[in-house]
Amino acid sequence: MKNLLILGAGQYGMVAKEIAESMHRFDHIDFLDDSNPIAVGKLGDSGKLSKEYDSAVVAIGNSDLRLKLINELCDQGYSIPSLIHEKAYVSPSAKIGMGSFIEPMAVIHTEVVVETGCIISAGVILNHNSTIHKGCHINCGSVVKARAEIEANTRTGYNEICDTKQGHSILVAV
């Protein structure tokens, strides 16, 4: 069985579904959402569905809620895959954490670490040896400099350059 449950049927859910479809790895994909009629149930129904779905991801913009739900899904026995679009480049030496999404045209370079529950949007470049800590959303067109370390739950704007100074993430608009 390769059935995927996506928690959240909004904009991030639709992105997650398209990425998952590009991977050609799942036989069936459904949503849980508290207000979207296309969902097969509410967010709180995940525990009841673990026999029908072996994998689940969280596609919700709020990083604290995203990470909390990922932990709950782990406790319920789900496999939490990382979703990597077929048109993204991910170096063989990069490490992508569970529940992270890599959108099309993103470049994840040598020795990059993307921790749990991150969203790496279209056109992002994560240069070599950078670390993206859990719950981050690196938005479209942003560049993370080599060896930079981005603090947990950071959300960049579009087209930002991200670096580290004195142990803290800095964002420089271009």
Residues 70, 125, single domain; the answer is: no
Counted domains in the chain:
2
Strands 83-84 and 3-7: unpaired
Write out the residue range of the structural domain in which residue 89 sits: 83-173
pLDDT of residue 174: 55
pLDDT in tens, 11-69: 999 999 999 999 999 999 999 999 999 999 999 999 999 999 999 999 999 999 999 99
Q: How far apart are CA 43 and CA 168, in angstroms?
A: 34
Per cent of the chain over pLDDT 70 is: 94
Residues 133, 150, single domain; the answer is: yes
| Over residues 122-132, mean pLDDT | 98
Q: How far apart are CA 49 and CA 129, in angstroms?
A: 39
Q: How crowded is residue 77: how many other Cβ atoms within 10 Å of its Cβ?
A: 11
Q: How far apart are CA 109 and CA 126, in angstroms?
A: 6
Q: Which two tokens stand for residue 14?
A: 């639709």
pLDDT of residue 1: 61
The model's pTM is 0.94
| Over residues 132-145, mean pLDDT | 97
pLDDT of residue 77: 96
Residues 62, 98, single domain; the answer is: no
Average pLDDT across the chain, whole number: 95
DSSP sequence for 54-82: SEEEE--S-HHHHHHHHHHHHHTT-B---
Residues 87, 169, single domain; the answer is: yes
Domain boundary among 48, 75, 102: 75
**pLDDT greater than 90 at residue 159:** yes
pLDDT of residue 164: 81
Residues 99, 69, single domain; the answer is: no
pLDDT of residue 172: 65
